[in-house]
Chains A and B, each alone.
Chain A
Amino acid sequence: MRILTSSVGRKILMSITGQLLILFILIHLIGNSTIFFGPNGINAYAEHLHSLPPLVWAFRLFMGAAIAVHICYGVMLTLENKAANPGAYAVKKNLKASFASENMIWTGLLVLAFIVYHLLQFTVHGTPDVVIGLDSANRPDVFRMVVTSFGNGLIALAYAFAMIMLFLHLSHGIPSFLQTMGWNNEKTIPAFGTGGKVISAVLMLAYISIPAVILAGLLKL
Chain B
Amino acid sequence: MNLTLHVWRQSGPNQPGKLEQYDAKNVSPDQSFLEMLDEVNEQLIKEGKDPIVFDHDCREGICGMCSQVINGVPHGGQERTTVCQLHMRNFSDGDTIYIEPWRALAFPVIRDLIVDRSGLEKIMQAGGYTSCHTGGVADGNAILVPKVDADYAMDAAECIGCGACVAACPNGSAMLYTSAKVAQLAALPQGKAEAAQRVCAMTDAMQEAGFGNCSNHYECQAACPKGINVKFIARLNREYQKALFK
Contacts and interface: CB of A to CB of B under 8 A. Distances in A.
A89 B69 contact: yes
Interface stretch (B37-45, B53-61, B216-224): B216-224
Interface in A1-36: 2-3, 6-12
Given A7-B206, A12-B240, A97-B170, A77 B217 contact: no
B214 interface: yes
Given A86-B105, A91-B72, A176 B241 contact: no
Nearest to B242: A182
A77 B73 CA distance: 24
B99 to A, nearest CB: 10
Interface string B224-244: 000001110111111111001
B122 interface: no
B100 interface: yes
Contact of B230 (A90, A92, A101, A189): A189
A102 interface: yes
B66 interface: no
Interface residues of B, number: 53
A185 B233 CA distance: 9
Contact of B237 (A2, A88, A89, A179): A179
Contacts of A89: 69, 72, 100, 103
Q: How large is the interface on A (under 10, 10 to 19, 20 to 34, 35 or more residues)?
A: 35 or more
Contacts of B71: 91, 93
A104 B213 CA distance: 14
B213 A80 contact: yes
Contacts of B214: 7-8, 11
Interface in A178-216: 179-186, 189
A3 B203 CA distance: 12
A155 B104 CA distance: 43
11 contacts: A3-B244, A6-B203, A11-B213, A81-B212, A85-B103, A89-B69, A90-B8, A93-B73, A97-B219, A175-B216, A179-B216
